[in-house]
Structure 1
Amino acid sequence: MADVGSTVATWGWGFLAVYVALILGLGYLGYQRTHTQDDYATARGGFGFLALALAYAATVASGSTFMGIPGMAYGMGFKAGYYAMIYPIGIYIGMLFVARITKKVGDRFGSQSIPDFLGDRYQSPLLRVLAALVALFLLFYIMSQITAAGWMFETILGLDYGIGIWVAGALLLLYLTAGGSHADILTDAVQGAIMIGVTLLIVFMFATGWGVEGGMSGVNAALPSDMGWNSHTDPENPTFANWWVIFLLFIAHIGFTAQPHLGNKFFAIKGTEYMKKFMTVSAVVGIALPLMFLGGVLGRAQGIQIDNPDAIIPMLFVENLPAVLAAFLGVAILSAIISTADGLIIAISQIFANDLYRKTYVPWKGGDPTDERVNQRALWISRLSTVFVTIAAVIAVMTPPQYLSILLWVGIGGIIAAYSGPYLVGTFREETSKTAAIIAFVVAFGVYFVIHLGPQFGLYEGWYPYNENPFASSGIGFIISCVLTYVISKFTEPLPTSHLNKVFRPERVSPDGSPSDD
């Protein structure tokens, strides 16, 4: 086994060198297309539907889909399939609500992030700042991706985890600091195509019962009884304790679309006329990729012994495939991890550069946020923030967490709870008021903190399973946010009609043929 591992590592370093050359080239292309702060933040109108759909699906999938969820399947069996197959359906339903209007309003107002979009949608600098501060919880999401990359380096390349996470951070900085969103989307599109191939291989291995006698039935028979495909819930498992919390898992992921690193992608499509094709392709690809969980089930059925469940997919490759193929696929999964981390880092950089500096500090000091000097400063703040956020994420995971899927939800659950009402309800109900959006935002985040973050931070024990189940807690926050947004809007003053017309009315064409909002 040591010889096999050494051969895999040798091939892996070769493939990594090719990968680094590829992302450097794509990063340079992104740099050539990045001249302004808006270019860095959004790559506005820079991509067609296919490239952006692959990039969006790759960003949604992340290291959690390719390592965390298979890790859950290795430890929990087929029950993990509920998570794997429910979450993309929820996300892409949410995308149907918000994608088109996010693109339209973002282009009209020059929004550069989802907190910025909310501030423009509701004419509320306060909501913009609140949304930006809550979005800092995305750091937990970045931490989970860096952790996944560290395990990949250790399993495939033989590099110690503690060194691997620094290498992962360096890879990100190679192209993000220069190319911004253009580099992010270019690399993610290529990585998305690779991820499709990896998923198809895992499905084939499971369907043929690779390494297990009896095909798929043999895989099921080799599992402990509480992990088989006829085992659905487990009161001792907070993630799948009962059908109610499984339903809340679905509800929470409808609000997942509100994540700033996903919403930013909508700004980059060339025009709203491409939205239908973009959403169709990204949904088909995005719903297929979580079938990676079957690799975790197969690894457990094969009896593979591993200390960290999240590393089951690379170990499955090492144990079952020729060294050259295992190495290639390992580096391919590393690229999948990077494809989410880069978008997250860009999203957080915009909190400092755009939401807090350009759109908050500058107007507060009486300046013009559209001034060219302000935009150039914001561009440099974006690049510096990219460096600092990446380093902070690496330092935070020097000691690796147990489950990636749980770690990333510690932070993003609060974003889902807070954003969902103002973002989702506000996209299809014009009468949604600024007061309702702010109250729902604050209350829903507070509820999520009380039922999940408080116990996670050790402030008190909390209520099982919500104290240990971020998905169910986020689902409750989502429901509260949406209900409060709708109900309070019934009793509070709506925004001015002139502003609502600019947000919701379709773009008209003036007599000279140019687009007009009048």
Structure 2
Amino acid sequence: MILLIGVLYLLVIMGIGLYSMKHQKDMDTYYTGGRRFGPWLVALAVSSTTMSGYGFIGLTGLVYANGYPVFMIGIFATAGIFVSFLILAKPMRKIAEKFGSMTIPDILEVRYNSKAVRGITALAILGGAIGYQMAQYKALGNMLQTVLGVNYELALFIGVAILTVYVVAGGMISAVWTDLIQMIVMVVGSLIVFIGGMKMVGGMNQLNAEVSAINPDMVNAYHTAGPIGIFAFISYFFIYVIGHQGQPHVVSKFYMIKKVSMLKWACVIAASTYAITALLWFVGLYTKVMVERGEMAAPSSPDLVAPLFIENFFHPVVAGLIFAAVMAAIMSTSEAFLLVASSSIVRDIYQQIYKKGEKIPQKKELALSRWITLSVIVLTFLLSINPPDLVGWLGNASWGIFVASLVPVLSIGIYWKRATRIAAIWSSALGFVFSIGLYILKVKEIYVPALDTGAIALIISTVSFVGISLITKPEASQIFEKKTEKQSA
């Protein structure tokens, strides 16, 4: 029954992808969907891609290992959605409409009049997207190996094959419509698991009492002796509240809304639905209690916590729906990252830098977009066969790359006229290098800082951005010129 429901769900999203194929006309419709969607579709696309397999699988596993401190990620990410809409949504949508922007590097080149800024940020987006996509694939493989009863490699191949059909064929149009279905399934699945699991463990008070008996640090906001201490708490604020503005797979959705006035409703819907889906993380605590009671075996890996708990304690029909919800989270973010990575190569590097903005025939640019998307899928699949880290930490590292490379040059730059091209180049480059370099040093245990590596890289890139802007010559920018044409309200 679990297998049947899972297969039916996958067939539905494949069908949407194939149906959407006939609506693809050019690069704009492939990557932005033609900017024609209402607030519900955009909002659910934002919350769905924010949650991801990293959220459903990775963070559930981290809750199992570390307890309530991990929930601060959910609280901060919910706040981050509001902050992103408040700061970026309106200006990004208006700039995109005025200058025909399709990607974040598109906006940044217009802002700083610099191909170098476009190139550096495109590479940062591509690098972070590949790392985050590995986290999605690992989550997908872990989920399907439980559902299908096959080894990880075969499960991964099956999941990626299905993903390939509907992403390569349908582009952003199929992505947004599947996000609608996926987010509905995710919300319902999260509520079922939260309520059902809470009844199993005997209510919130009993849950907290038993978890506290295992490790008192697990019921605190942050650990006094564990790995998620006060500095990690501070890091999460930087990465998930401020850093949400630098997540290209999320903020690129702002391009797609039909009217700017719809953004306020999309903001409330996105934050609310994300907060509801985060209830699934309680599975980590439920599993900890059930293992301690001897009612289930300890998972061999934290990444298997969610699928094993669901399989053990829910009716096959319910379990099938919940597995579909988890696959929905994974698929939703996977499609977003694949399109973001592909657009960085096709639009930002090939067309705008290599071809120097040369117009490409519609059929050729659409075909190229699909082939590059397919190439990114193959590359990330090969890298994910033996991924280097847990889903949760792998996703966190990729968020750090986006945060440090993009937030200062984008969020500060589109408001601060004094920001300069040289500052943007150095800020994005330093953010990219330090976010990767510090993470490698941490994994190799050569240098393990108290703050998260992404948060440190963000501070470095922000300080350099502001400091260099103040000591370099001010420059005019097109985005601050008076409007010469009527824009949508």
Is TM (by shorter chain) over 0.5?
yes
The residue aligned with 1:379 is 366
Q: Deviations over 1:449-503 (max 9, x none)?
A: 44323443x4x7013335xxxxx22122223323332333233233326x1434x
The residue aligned with 1:3 is none
Distance in 2, Cα, partners of 1:506 & 1:192: 37
Alignment partner for residue 496 of structure 1, among 459, 469, 476? Answer: 476
- Residue pair 1:79, 1:229 contacting (<8 A) in 2 also: yes
Distance in 1, Cα, partners of 2:152 & 2:239: 32
The residue aligned with 2:457 is 477
Say if 2:200 is the partner of 1:220: no
The residue aligned with 2:448 is 463
CA pair 424-453 structure 1, distance change in 2 beyond 3 A:
farther
Alignment partner for residue 245 of structure 1, among 220, 228, 232? Answer: 232
The residue aligned with 1:210 is 199
Alignment partner for residue 130 of structure 1, among 110, 120, 136? Answer: 120
CA pair 400-481 structure 1, distance change in 2 beyond 3 A:
closer
AA at the equivalent of 1:264: S
Listed as ranges, the matches of 1:228-239 within 5 Å are 228-230=218-220, 232-237=222-227
Distance in 1, Cα, partners of 2:249 & 2:164: 17
Alignment partner for residue 22 of structure 2, among 32, 36, 49? Answer: 32
Q: Deviations over 1:309-339 (max 9, x none)?
A: 1222222222211112112211221121101
Q: What is the CA distance between 1:91 and its match in structure 2?
A: 4.2
CA pair 126-278 structure 1, distance change in 2 beyond 3 A:
same
AA at the equivalent of 1:335: A
AA at the equivalent of 1:481: S
Distance in 2, Cα, partners of 1:500 & 1:427: 8
Listed as ranges, the matches of 1:356-435 within 5 Å are 356-363=349-356, 369=358, 371-373=359-361, 375-435=362-422
Q: What is the CA distance between 1:508 and its match in structure 2?
A: 5.2
The residue aligned with 1:97 is 87
Q: What is the CA distance between 1:229 and its match in structure 2?
A: 1.7
Q: What is the CA distance between 1:163 and its match in structure 2?
A: 0.5
Query: Match of 2:413, SS?
Result: helix
Listed as ranges, the matches of 1:46-445 within 5 Å are 46-137=36-127, 138-206=129-197, 209-212=198-201, 214-223=202-211, 224-230=214-220, 232-237=222-227, 240-241=228-229, 243-253=230-240, 254-303=242-291, 304=296, 305-363=298-356, 369=358, 371-373=359-361, 375-445=362-432
Q: Deviations over 1:390-447 (max 9, x none)?
A: 1211211212555211112333312211111101101222332222211221223333
Q: Percent identity?
A: 25
Greater alpha carbon shift after TM alignment, 487-496 vs 327-336 = 487-496
AA at the equivalent of 2:195: F
Distance in 2, Cα, partners of 1:418 & 1:123: 18
The residue aligned with 2:13 is 23
AA at the equivalent of 2:466: Y
- Residue pair 1:89, 1:287 contacting (<8 A) in 2 also: no
Aligned CA RMSD, in angstroms, stands at: 2.2
CA pair 82-350 structure 1, distance change in 2 beyond 3 A:
same
Q: What is the CA distance between 1:143 and its match in structure 2?
A: 0.7
- Residue pair 1:92, 1:257 contacting (<8 A) in 2 also: no
Q: What is the CA distance between 1:202 and its match in structure 2?
A: 2.8
Distance in 2, Cα, partners of 1:440 & 1:313: 39
- Residue pair 1:65, 1:289 contacting (<8 A) in 2 also: no
Q: What is the CA distance between 1:126 and its match in structure 2?
A: 0.7
Distance in 1, Cα, partners of 2:187 & 2:338: 24
Could you list the runs of 5+ residues in structure 1 that have no partner in the other structure?
1-10, 467-471, 510-514
Q: What is the CA distance between 1:200 and its match in structure 2?
A: 1.4
Distance in 1, Cα, partners of 2:287 & 2:341: 36
- Residue pair 2:44, 2:179 contacting (<8 A) in 1 also: yes
Q: What is the CA distance between 1:68 and its match in structure 2?
A: 0.8
Could you list the runs of 5+ residues in structure 2 that have no partner in the other structure?
none
Distance in 2, Cα, partners of 1:88 & 1:149: 24
AA at the equivalent of 2:160: G
Distance in 1, Cα, partners of 2:25 & 2:36: 13
TM-score, length basis structure 1? 0.87
Query: Match of 1:495, SS?
Result: coil
Q: What is the CA distance between 1:115 and its match in structure 2?
A: 1.8
AA at the equivalent of 2:460: I
Distance in 1, Cα, partners of 2:275 & 2:105: 27
Q: What is the CA distance between 1:98 and its match in structure 2?
A: 1.1
Q: Deviations over 1:170-220 (max 9, x none)?
A: 1111111121111111111210111111121233135xx3323x4222222
Aligned residues: 480
Distance in 2, Cα, partners of 1:142 & 1:56: 17
AA at the equivalent of 2:448: W
- Residue pair 2:117, 2:425 contacting (<8 A) in 1 also: yes
Q: Deviations over 1:40-61 (max 9, x none)?
A: 1111312101011111100000
- Residue pair 1:115, 1:127 contacting (<8 A) in 2 also: yes
Q: What is the CA distance between 1:66 and its match in structure 2?
A: 0.9
Q: What is the CA distance between 1:227 and its match in structure 2?
A: 4.8
The residue aligned with 1:7 is none
Q: What is the CA distance between 1:117 and its match in structure 2?
A: 1.9
- Residue pair 1:308, 1:402 contacting (<8 A) in 2 also: no
Distance in 1, Cα, partners of 2:80 & 2:238: 7
Q: Deviations over 1:261-296 (max 9, x none)?
A: 222211111121211111121122223322222111
- Residue pair 1:77, 1:297 contacting (<8 A) in 2 also: yes
Distance in 2, Cα, partners of 1:435 & 1:148: 39
AA at the equivalent of 1:205: G
CA pair 200-267 structure 1, distance change in 2 beyond 3 A:
same
AA at the equivalent of 1:501: F
The residue aligned with 1:8 is none
AA at the equivalent of 1:291: L
Distance in 2, Cα, partners of 1:495 & 1:379: 36
AA at the equivalent of 2:130: L
